[in-house]
Chains A and B, each alone.
Chain A
Amino acid sequence: MNIAQQLVNGIIIGHAYALVAIGWTLLLGAARLVNFGHGQIYMVSAFVAWWIMSMTGAPYVLAVVVAIAAGAVIGAIMQRLFLRLTLSQDLVNLMIATLGFGQILEGAAGLTFGPKPETLTSPLQAVTFDFGPVWFTAQDALAVGATILVFLGLHVVLNRTRFGAAVRMVAEDPPLVALYGIPISRVYISIFAFEGAAVALAATLIAPRTPILTSMGFEQVVMTFVVVVLGGIGSVGGSYVAGLLLGLFTAIFSALISPAYTTAAVFALLIAFMVLRPGKLAAGGNFAR
Chain B
Amino acid sequence: MSARLQLRDLRVAYDRNLAVTIDHLAVEPGTLAAVIGANGAGKSTLINAIANWSRAAPRLSGEILIDGEAVGGKSADHLARRGVVLVPEGRGVFMGLTVEENLRAGLFAARAGGRAYSLADIYTLFPRLRERRSNLGGSLSGGERQMLAIGRALRMAPRLLLLDEPSIGLAPRLVSLLLETIRALADGGLTVFLVEQNVRAAIAVADSLYLLERGRVVASGDVAAMKDDPRIIEAYLGARN
A residues sitting closer than 8 Å to B (CB atoms) are: 162, 165-166, 168-169, 171-173, 175-184, 285
Contact = CB atoms under 8 A, between A and B. Distances in A.
Given A162-B104, A165-B104, A166-B105, A178 B76 contact: yes
Contacts of B95: 172, 285
Given A180-B152, A181-B81, A181-B107, A165 B91 contact: no
A180 B93 CA distance: 9
Given A173-B91, A175-B55, A176-B92, A165 B105 contact: yes
B2 to A, nearest CB: 24
Contacts of B107: 180-182
A168 B94 contact: yes
A184 B80 CA distance: 13
B99 interface: no
B44 to A, nearest CB: 13
Contacts of A183: 75, 77-78
Interface of B: 51, 53-55, 75-78, 80-81, 85-88, 91-92, 94-97, 101, 104-109, 152, 156
Contacts of B80: 178-181
A180 B105 contact: yes
Question: Chain B's interface: helix, strand, loop or mixed, by majority?
Answer: loop
Nearest to B106: A180
B98 to A, nearest CB: 9
Contact of B76 (A169, A171, A172, A179): A179
Nearest to B152: A180
Nearest to A171: B96
Contacts of A180: 77, 80, 105-107, 152, 156
Given A176-B94, A179-B76, A179-B86, 12 more contacts: A162-B105, A169-B97, A173-B94, A175-B54, A178-B53, A179-B85, A179-B87, A180-B156, A181-B77, A181-B106, A181-B109, A182-B105
Nearest to A288: B96
A112 to B, nearest CB: 39
Contact of A176 (B78, B81, B85, B91): B91
A266 B92 CA distance: 43
A1 to B, nearest CB: 46
A183 B88 CA distance: 18
A172 B85 CA distance: 20
B77 A182 contact: yes
A168 B97 CA distance: 8
A165 B86 CA distance: 20
Nearest to B98: A165
A172 B94 contact: yes
A180 B106 CA distance: 4
A156 to B, nearest CB: 15
A175 B89 CA distance: 13
A260 B106 CA distance: 53
Nearest to B107: A181
8 contacts: A168-B97, A172-B94, A179-B53, A179-B87, A180-B105, A181-B77, A181-B156, A183-B75
Contacts of A168: 94, 96-97
A176 B88 CA distance: 9
A183 to B, nearest CB: 5
A181 B108 contact: yes
A171 B77 CA distance: 17
Nearest to B52: A178
Contacts of B85: 179
Contacts of B87: 179
B57 to A, nearest CB: 10
A169 B105 contact: yes
A181 B92 CA distance: 13
A53 B105 CA distance: 43
A132 B224 CA distance: 91
Contacts of B78: 183
Contacts of A178: 53, 75-77, 80
Nearest to B136: A285
Nearest to B54: A175
A61 to B, nearest CB: 36
